[in-house]
Amino acid sequence: MSRYSDSSADKSTLSVKWIFRGIVVSFLLLLAVSIIGGLIITFIDIDDLIIQKILIIFNYLSILTGSFLTGLNVEGNGWLNGGLVGLGHIGLIFLLSLMWVETLFTLGSLIMLGIGSMTGLIGGMAGINFKD
């Protein structure tokens, strides 16, 4: 008899489908805000640092949204599923940034990874508790 034969083990597994969907949603939200920010910079004279700070805030809000969506649709471990959405989102940004940056792992990028993971954890926990 398997150790994981009861139905509670099924509720504690990861949902790769919803983690992937959460990453896609969060990245598409960030892409849309980035395009809008680029248009604003092009047509309106706004300091680049202000837009950069706005994009950083929307980066974490998009992770929060994607992990919340994941938490709403999984049966258990919302914190873990949401945290993996945050890690996946930041990981995708790191992979894309390799095209422009030689040194990927700096103190700032590690802080960004930590904040992204924590944001995902919070979003996943909120999502799984919101549906109850």
Give residue limits of the domains in the chain. 16-130
User: How distant, in Å, are the alpha carbons of 38, 45, 96 from that of 42?
Assistant: 6, 8, 23
Which tokens sit at 5?
Answer: 């034969």
Closest CA to 89 of 31, 26, 38: 26
Query: What is residue 26's predicted lDDT score, i.e. its pLDDT?
Result: 96
Model pLDDT for residues 36-77, shown as the tens digit of each residue: 888 888 888 888 788 788 889 999 999 999 999 999 999 889
Model pLDDT for residues 4-29, shown as the tens digit of each residue: 444 444 555 788 999 999 999 999 99
Q: What is the reported pTM?
A: 0.84
Query: What is residue 39's predicted lDDT score, i.e. its pLDDT?
Result: 86
